[in-house]
Amino acid sequence: MTNRIAYLLLSTFLIACSDTQVQSSNATLEQHYSQVSLKAADISDNGRFTLLSDNAQVCLWNNNKNKLQYPCLNSLDAQMIELLGISSSNKYFYTSNRVNVHLYDLHSGRLVTVWSAGDNIINDIAMSANESKLIFGFRSGQASIVSVLDNQIATFKPHRLDINSVAISDEGDKAFTGSSDKTAVLWQTNTGKAIHRFEHQTRVNHVTMSDDASLGFTLDAIRDRSFWLLKIGAPFAELKNNIKFIEFNDAQFSDSKKWLASASPKQKIQLWQTKTGELLGQWQAFKPADSIRASVIAIEFINHNTLATVTSDGVYQTWPIQAIYP
Distance CA 230, CA 198 (A): 10
Name the strand (E) or helix (H) holding 4.
helix 2-16
Query: Could you read off the pLDDT tens digit of each residue along the chain, which spans 326 residues?
Result: 444 444 444 444 443 344 444 555 689 999 999 999 999 999 999 999 999 999 999 999 999 999 999 999 999 999 999 999 999 999 999 999 999 999 999 999 999 999 999 999 999 999 999 999 999 999 999 999 999 999 999 999 999 999 999 999 999 999 999 999 999 999 999 999 999 999 999 999 999 999 999 999 999 999 899 999 998 999 999 999 777 788 999 999 999 999 999 999 999 999 999 999 999 999 999 999 888 889 999 999 999 899 999 999 999 999 998 753 33
How many angstroms separate the Cα of 12 from the Cα of each of 31, 55, 74, 115, 307?
A: 40, 46, 50, 43, 26
Q: Supply the pLDDT for residue 323.
A: 56
Distance CA 194, CA 44 (A): 30
Among candidates 28, 27, 56, 60, which has minimal Cα distance to 41?
60
Distance CA 279, CA 83 (A): 29
Q: Supply the pLDDT for residue 245.
A: 81
Among candidates 1, 89, 72, which has minimal Cα distance to 38?
72
According to DSSP, the residues that pair with 133 across neighbouring strands are 147
Q: Which amino acid is at 78?
A: A
Length of the chain: 326
Neighbour-count burial of 196, counting CB atoms closer than 10 A to its CB (0-12 exposed, 13-18 middle, 19+ buried): middle
CB 94 within 8 A of CB 118: no
Distance CA 265, CA 285 (A): 10
Q: Supply the pLDDT for residue 244.
A: 74
CB 54 within 8 A of CB 38: yes
Q: What is the DSSP annotation of 239-291? A: -----S----SEEEE-TTSSEEEEE-STTEEEEEETTT--EEEEEE----TT-
Reduced DSSP (H G I as helix, E B as strand, rest coil) percent helix, strand, coil of the chain, to 5: 5, 50, 45
How many angstroms separate the Cα of 306 from the Cα of each of 241, 309, 320, 324?
A: 24, 10, 5, 14
- Residue 12 contacts by C-beta under 8 Å, 6 or more apart in sequence? none
Q: Residue 133: what are its φ and ψ, rounded to 5°?
A: -140, 150
- Residue 324 contacts by C-beta under 8 Å, 6 or more apart in sequence? 20, 21, 22, 23
Q: Supply the pLDDT for residue 146.
A: 98
The full set of domains in the chain, from first to last, is: 2-324 (2.130.10.10)
